[in-house]
Structure 1
Amino acid sequence: MASIVLCLLLSAHLTSAQFYKIESNDDILSSAKTLAYDLMSYYHGNESGQTPGILPGPPPAGDYYWWEGGALWGTMIDYWHLTGDDTYNNVTTEAMLWQVGPNRNYMPPNVTASLGNDDQGFWGMSAMLAAEENFPNPPSDQPQWLALAQAVWNTQADPDRHDATCGGGLRWQIPFANNGYDYKNSIANGIFFNLGARLARYTNNHTYAEVAEDAWNWVVSVGFMDKDYNIFDGAHVQTNCTDINRAQFSYNNGVFLLGAAYMYNYTEDQKWKDRLDGLVDATLKVFFPNDTAYEIACEGVMTCTTDMLSFKGYLHRWMSTATQIAPFTADKILPVLRKSAQAAVNQCTGGNDGRTCGFAWSSGKFDGSTGAGQTMDALAAVSSLLINQSKKPVTSSDGGTSVGDPNAGIGSGSIAGDNLPPVTTGDRAGAGVLTAVVVLTAAAAFGWMGIGK
């Protein structure tokens, strides 16, 4: 009898472990559909009394900061584009339009207390994606996808956002009073670079590319990206950006990698091919040990914040898109992404339904870590396997239908207090104490960037 029970238990585990399959396109479509359903179960913005566009939060009201809503809709736009399933299109459109703010630049006043350039930029990248993938356009009396992306880029290109500290570059936070205003980081400047590269390709306006290259050059000059294409988190303006936090996060590599692919596609310049090659090699080396996505800064000791738990999905999405924009990268990238996606679904065996996804893909088993980010990661990894069956991102001259406005957002990017004199150590004593903790404690160094988002 004991042997029969054991066999039944083993059989039940095997069935659970095999819930998601990715061997064929039909398997991928089916798995992606279920993952999308499970992901959207974390969203309540379309329910009575809730706020459209955002995941539950910000803390203490819920786990998620405003920016991750923007990332969610980018994931769902890609999901529609890759699978053809339009189930969530109306919800996505409502969400994306609800959060544009009074100046239609993704700076709604109610998120000012945690509004970073990277936060605004994530929403801008999702709007850009909607334009590139011909996501259904909003009604004509509403802001259009391309114009929204241009508005975000224009507010961030404003000289007021690029002060002289550290020789230029965007600060992490936009308002002076926010924790992190004294910090300049790779993700804020990487998103600005990424958006500029994509706008250059879409509109064929070289000014975007010139400014994007300036952003790249600044990141390299200040030491946030080294000669081996390792990308470090950021540094404080009080030290002229010399106290570099050397934590490496996968979304930094992903956002620069995709931007470099767009720059190469647009310019056909050998230097961008070389830079893209370097980024691909570095990203695979650092973030895909054993061909499985791994968040090196926090995963081994599980100090990952809610923000960090979503990074693997962006990495998969952006790297897969890069193979369309710069096809010479496909042979190196796609086999790794498939193996990583298999590792992702192998551990989606948790919960009462036996299909809940965790975070530690390389462990081979469900780790009990659940949430929107973890599910978004798995959905992105699975749906991106369909990249070769999808149309590459369009431009205004080859099928793009989104209406732009090159002047969108100009003059609308300032927040009260934003133009005060540069912060000093005395002004931000609390931030100085926090910096000391970051420097002295590795776990804190890796987890700090999730604070204050």
Structure 2
Amino acid sequence: MVRLPTALLAACGLLAGRALGALDVDLDDPESIKKAAALVAEDLLSFYRGDEPGWVPGILPGPPPDGDYYWWQGGAMWGTLLDYRNVMKDDTYDDTIFTALQFQVGDEKDYNPANWSASMGNDDQAFWAFAALIAAETGFRDPAPEQPQWLALAQAVFNEQTNIDRRVEGGNCDWGLRWQVYRTNNGFDYINTVANACYFNIGARLHRYTDNSTYGELAEKTWDLMWRLGYITEDYDVYDGAHLPDCKGINKAQFSYNAAMLLQGSAFMYNATESDEWKERVEGMTKGIIRVFFAKDGIAYEPSCEPPPGSCNADMESYRGYMHRWMANTIQMAPFLRDTILPVLKTSAAAGVKQCTGGDNGRMCGFHWTTGQYDGQLSASLEMNVLGALTALMMPDVAPPLTNTTGGTSKGDPDAGQTKTELPTFSPITTGDKAGASILTILIITGALSAFAWMSLD
């Protein structure tokens, strides 16, 4: 797929047949929302280079210092675009999405490619599983039989994260899922909400999709753990996590994606079980999210890092877009919450769109929605936020996520994934390898000396 630079299109006056300017949208008109969302999707993909020669398919440029983005944000972007294509019925980027999701599956078909092991978190792996789940739940193109299947990929991630080698055994933190996959990674001793909320969310959705109660039981076990540890409070505040050995010194920072991930998972559990207990949890999570993350005039913001002087990093800057989408998905699963959630999403989306006045094309979006003004920032995360907000406005009116009995066609594998998580290993260095390395070193040094001699004579 060939994409001309946005600035060039703007200069040629080809941006949807209208003049250069701010993102213009009537939030009461579905067609206007679709047109605006298509422009934001185009701007989002302008940050992606993975379909160009010399770049890696699936990922955004990075990680730092080579670019702003870590591996997980590629998975987050494809999830955003899958929801967008399903809601807006726009298949423009289908080939790009498909290639990206297949390219990053890794040797074990579990979204744990070896070249990302140095920074692999359970939450990182889970965001790619989220994208695979959306593909299954929205009827996205199934891979060929010999390729990894969407449902099986999500099951592989869930199975590996169920394994005890990624968890804590015994003590107050028993059953807690560690933040990092490998013990050599910084954060292996951190039992945080995002890793456990990801696992809970995947389990809830696999439960509904497959009607296998084991997934639901493991999801509920994880909810109970977070509740017992105080990561989720009686007021439905959601805190960030705590370290081993006892998980008692809780970091009380609150981030929107943690709470929204728990809300979405709870909504899937409610939809699958219709139990009063999950109904109460969905209602509680909804009230907590609105109280904490929409406290400023009903506009989404990150209270733990956004207020001046502000310290949100590139990861944190992307959270509100997921929150908007997952709240809208909650309406699909629990329609009785429509009148509570949708007005909030609309107010917030209006603020998000209002500040999309930056960049060469005059419509790039910033981060600080509550100010009503563009803040000069440019990133894929910020475009994802507004695309998520626009998508969320129309999501409640499209068909709910599929299951394997309501039109879902993705093939699963209950045994997918590795039985044990281990760091990638390399073949032992042989005498021949050492000899070859020595010869190569001698050749390089000889060539360098010759070059230096030539330069001296010159």
Q: Give the TM-score of the pair, scaled to structure 2.
A: 0.86
111, 119, 127: which one aligns with 1:122: 127
1:17 to partner: Cα distance = 4.3
Match of 1:188 in 2: 195
The alignment of Structure 1 onto Structure 2 pairs a total of residues equal to 403
Q: Distance in 2 between matches of 1:145 and 1:60?
A: 32
315, 331, 337: which one aligns with 1:323: 331
Where in structure 2 are the equivalents of 1:159-174 lying within 5 Å? 159-164=164-169, 166-174=173-181
Match of 2:319 in 1: 311
170, 183, 198: which one aligns with 1:176: 183
1:348 to partner: Cα distance = 0.3
1:370 to partner: Cα distance = 1.7
Contact (CA 8 Å) 1:80, 1:86: kept in 2 or not?
yes
**Equivalent AA in structure 2 for residue 170 of structure 1:** L
Q: Does 1:92 align with 2:92?
A: no
Match of 2:117 in 1: 112
Q: Distance in 1 between matches of 2:66 and 2:236?
A: 38
235, 241, 247: which one aligns with 1:234: 241
Q: Distance in 1 between matches of 2:205 and 2:360?
A: 42
Q: Does 1:376 align with 2:381?
A: no
Q: CA offsets, 1:132-154, max 9 Å, x none? A: 11111112210010000000000
137, 144, 152: which one aligns with 1:139: 144
Match of 2:259 in 1: 253
Q: Does 1:103 align with 2:111?
A: no
273, 282, 288: which one aligns with 2:288: 282
Q: Distance in 2 between matches of 1:18 and 1:28?
A: 10
**Equivalent AA in structure 2 for residue 332 of structure 1:** T
Q: Distance in 1 between matches of 2:421 and 2:152?
A: 15
1:412 to partner: Cα distance = 4.9
Cα gap change, 1:119/1:18 in structure 2, threshold over 3 Å: closer, same or farther? closer
Q: Give the TM-score of the pair, scaled to structure 1.
A: 0.87
Match of 1:450 in 2: none
1:15 to partner: Cα distance = 8.4
Partner-residue secondary structure (3-state), 1:184:
strand
Contact (CA 8 Å) 1:19, 1:349: kept in 2 or not?
no
**Equivalent AA in structure 2 for residue 146 of structure 1:** L
Q: Distance in 1 between matches of 2:28 and 2:42?
A: 21
Q: Distance in 1 between matches of 2:143 and 2:95?
A: 10
Q: Point out the more displaced range, 160-169 or 294-303.
A: 160-169
Q: Distance in 2 between matches of 1:213 and 1:383?
A: 29
Task: List runs of 5+ in structure 2 lacking aligned partners.
Answer: 1-18, 426-458
Partner-residue secondary structure (3-state), 2:332:
helix
Contact (CA 8 Å) 1:174, 1:415: kept in 2 or not?
no
**Equivalent AA in structure 2 for residue 394 of structure 1:** L
Partner-residue secondary structure (3-state), 1:167:
coil
1:416 to partner: Cα distance = 6.0
Which protein has the larger Cα radius of gyration, Structure 1 or Structure 2?
A: 2
Q: Distance in 2 between matches of 1:197 and 1:413?
A: 23
Partner-residue secondary structure (3-state), 2:201:
helix
Match of 2:84 in 1: 79
**Equivalent AA in structure 2 for residue 134 of structure 1:** G
1:368 to partner: Cα distance = 1.2
**Equivalent AA in structure 2 for residue 368 of structure 1:** G
**Equivalent AA in structure 2 for residue 250 of structure 1:** S
1:386 to partner: Cα distance = 1.3
**Equivalent AA in structure 1 for residue 273 of structure 2:** T
Contact (CA 8 Å) 2:150, 2:411: kept in 1 or not?
yes
Task: List runs of 5+ in structure 1 lacking aligned partners.
Answer: 1-13, 418-453
Match of 1:356 in 2: 364
Match of 2:278 in 1: 272
Match of 2:9 in 1: none
Contact (CA 8 Å) 1:316, 1:380: kept in 2 or not?
yes
Contact (CA 8 Å) 2:27, 2:350: kept in 1 or not?
yes
Match of 1:211 in 2: 218
Q: CA offsets, 1:347-401, max 9 Å, x none? A: 0011221101001111111011220000100011012211133111010011101
Q: Distance in 2 between matches of 1:97 and 1:185?
A: 29
Contact (CA 8 Å) 2:181, 2:421: kept in 1 or not?
no
Q: Distance in 2 between matches of 1:105 and 1:23?
A: 41
Match of 1:429 in 2: none
Give the share of equivalent positions with the same residue, in percent: 48
Match of 2:16 in 1: none
Partner-residue secondary structure (3-state), 1:235:
strand
Partner-residue secondary structure (3-state), 1:97:
helix
Partner-residue secondary structure (3-state), 2:399:
coil
1:414 to partner: Cα distance = 3.4
352, 360, 363: which one aligns with 1:344: 352
